[in-house]
Copies of this chain bind each other. A is one copy, B any other.
Amino acid sequence: MNKARRIIGIDPGSLRMGYGIVDLRGNAVTPVAWGVIRLDGGEPLSDRLYAIHIELSKLIKEYVPSEAAIENVFLAKNASSALKLGQARGAAIVTCRTHGLSVYEYSPKEIKLAATGYGAASKEQVAGMICRLLGVRVQIPADASDALAMAFCRAVTREVPS
């Protein structure tokens, strides 16, 4: 039997970060862990970014994934929210790389396609389908199901790191 590949999907934001971890063994994708880390919006920026680093480092040390999947967002509501999102992404990506993980980026369309077979699926359709595909029978937060969908997308995609 093949050794499992463990993948962490990360949905970083300035107020919370979703994560979802899956194993890929042969063609079977199984869920390992998921959750949402809440960041204190009242803290200074550098403390919040450092909290992303600390919390994500803990997850990587606990679950030891070898690959990370993250959504590449080219559109944001405005320049201010894009800056905040970018800072959180930069913190998360550097943290993954310092722990030796390969980082793969996927567009929202690629993630939706992987999860539902339909590139314009709604967030609810993606959340519902990813839980069915992974056999997750409990309600999970939207940021966590988004992150699971990213990890799932990586698991079923074969291309080289972006």
Contact = CB atoms under 8 A, between A and B. Distances in A.
Given A44-B161, A44-B162, A162-B44, A49 B83 contact: no
A79 to B, nearest CB: 4
Stoichiometry, copies per complex: 2
A104 to B, nearest CB: 8
A87 interface: yes
A133 interface: no
Contacts of A44: 105, 161-162
Interface residues of A, number: 38
Binding site secondary structure of chain A: helix
Interface stretch (A31-39, A94-102, A110-118, A120-128): A94-102
Contact of A91 (B77, B82, B83, B90): B90
A108 to B, nearest CB: 14
A52 interface: yes
Given A76-B82, A79-B76, A94 B97 contact: no
A80 B74 contact: yes
A95 B93 CA distance: 12
A110 to B, nearest CB: 15
A74 B94 CA distance: 22
Contacts of A90: 49, 86-92, 94
A76 B85 CA distance: 13
Interface string A45-68: 110011011000000000000000
5 contacts: A44-B161, A50-B94, A79-B79, A79-B81, A79-B82
